[in-house]
Structure 1
Amino acid sequence: MGDRELRVSDAEREHVGELLQRAVGLGMLSLGEFTERMDTALAAKTRGELNAVLIDLPGVRLIGRPAAPPTRFVNAAPAFPKPARRPLPVNPGNAIRSRMSGVTRKGPWQVPPTLHLNNWFSGITLDFTEAIMSTQIVELHVDDYFGSLNLIVPAEATVDLNALDLVGSSINNKVRTGPPLGPLHLVVRGQLRFGSVTAKHPFIAHWRKLLGH
């Protein structure tokens, strides 16, 4: 079996995603081309499939190839702010990690004091209206690409989105930001690239407020 047929890992796919991100910043790829190649990279199963998205980009070290001499591309600063890499918690209940998927947490789910979100091309909905919290203040650490994050909170909850770093993204906070007066205060930190975050109350709570109930 040759190198092209070897299976690739999520870490290799994410490395290729970072290289494509740099290529956008250097003007080698348009956002449309970036999206198409990211789709291919995330679906790649072998090194041959993964390397196909890099083959025409100068100065890129292909997966499984010996390191090439440094070039202008490799040494270039990344196009977007890059967060420091921190290992995700061992406990899977403290992390949501998805690729091209939809994830929903609702009902009486257990909410840890800190929740890490690492999602690409995914839609995440976290419904806290019936959730079981162990602490009043819950921190969400976000490191997402091309996704949407919907936060549904009880009427008395507060949500602080001011610590988010945005790249081509949007925020829509329809609830109070603080201080933490109720049983839940969400603090969202980290980075969101080409995505959106919405914090809101449940639909029924919105109508009760309009009706004065």
Structure 2
Amino acid sequence: MESKDLRVSDAEREHVGELLQRAVGQGMLSLGEFTERMDTVLAAKTRGDLNQVLVDLPGIQIRPEFQDQYLPGMPQQHYPAPTTGAFPATGQGAPALIKGRVSSVERKGPWHVPPAIALDTVASSVTLDFTEAVMQTQVVRIDVNDYLSSITILLPAEATADVNGVENVASSVSSKVRGGPPYGPLHLIVTGKVRCGSVNVTHPLSTRMRKFFNGN
């Protein structure tokens, strides 16, 4: 079997995505081209699928450990183990997917919130407003896989949040709400990875103003 026909791991897809980010920063790719190629990367199954997004980018090279790890004849146990995702098996099914590509993504009003959400976005403006949402569970998990997006999460007054599980690469991740264990109507756990983007967990302006005038 030729190396181009060998399967690739999530780690290799992520590495190629970082190379494409570098190409954008160096002016070799436009934002539209980056988005198209990232769609190819996320759907890639073989080395050949990944190579096609890099062949015309001079000076952009895959790190040696990724070049060498899929040599023909290598025993299967030497392959990197695939990632299993951020959500443990809870018996409540797979997380609901919210996806955006160079777009505006918004959830607000009385929308029905599942126990787990997978947020997959590229160069998008995202607002998830939980202030009037219909909750199925007290604890909601959001796993973020993002490139170049601005993500705002609005929580009701008594909600708590934990963003310590978010890995940020040249990004900003902040929470202006109380942390700690869940005690109110909603506890949000945010995990995943943000690249060249931002995540801001906060209360709506009206809630922040009330807290300010009440001395909280």
> TM (normalized to structure 1)?
0.68
Shift of 1:39: 2.5
CA contact (8 A) 1:40 1:53 kept: no
**CA–CA separation in structure 2 for the residues paired with 1:162 and 1:120:** 22
Residue matched to 1:55? 56
Matching of residues 7-18 of structure 1 within 5 Å: none
Report the secondary structure of 1:129's partner residue: coil
Residue matched to 1:64? none
Residue matched to 2:120? 118
Shift of 1:33: 2.6
CA contact (8 A) 1:161 1:187 kept: yes
The partner residue of 1:21 within 18, 22, 47 is: 18
Shift of 1:40: 1.3
Report the secondary structure of 2:180's partner residue: coil
Residue matched to 1:11? none
CA contact (8 A) 2:153 2:201 kept: yes
- Letter of the 1:139 partner, please give it: R
- Letter of the 2:67 partner, please give it: N
Report the secondary structure of 1:178's partner residue: coil
Change (3 A) 1:197 1:110: same
CA contact (8 A) 1:113 1:139 kept: yes
For structure 1, the 5+ residue unaligned runs are 1-14, 61-69, 78-82
CA contact (8 A) 2:95 2:116 kept: no
Shift of 1:211: 1.9
Give CA-to-partner distance per residue, 1:38-58, whole Å, 9 cap, x none.
52143479xxxx958632447
Change (3 A) 1:120 1:30: closer
- Letter of the 1:54 partner, please give it: V
**CA–CA separation in structure 2 for the residues paired with 1:174 and 1:71:** 38
**CA–CA separation in structure 2 for the residues paired with 1:99 and 1:137:** 27
For structure 2, the 5+ residue unaligned runs are 1-11, 40-50, 70-81, 88-92
- Letter of the 1:114 partner, please give it: A
- Letter of the 1:183 partner, please give it: P
**CA–CA separation in structure 1 for the residues paired with 2:192 and 2:15:** 17
Give CA-to-partner distance per residue, 1:135-161, whole Å, 9 cap, x none.
000000111111111010001000100
Q: Percent identity?
A: 35
How many residue pairs were aligned? Answer: 176
CA contact (8 A) 2:143 2:191 kept: yes
Residue matched to 2:83? 84
Task: Verify: 1:193 aligned to 2:199, yes or no.
Answer: no
Matching of residues 1-213 of structure 1 within 5 Å: 19=16, 21-22=18-19, 29=23, 31-33=25-27, 36-43=29-36, 54-57=55-58, 75=67, 84=83, 94-212=96-214
**CA–CA separation in structure 1 for the residues paired with 2:198 and 2:190:** 13
> TM (normalized to structure 2)?
0.67
Shift of 1:85: 6.5
Residue matched to 1:12? none
Report the secondary structure of 2:137's partner residue: coil
CA contact (8 A) 1:17 1:38 kept: no
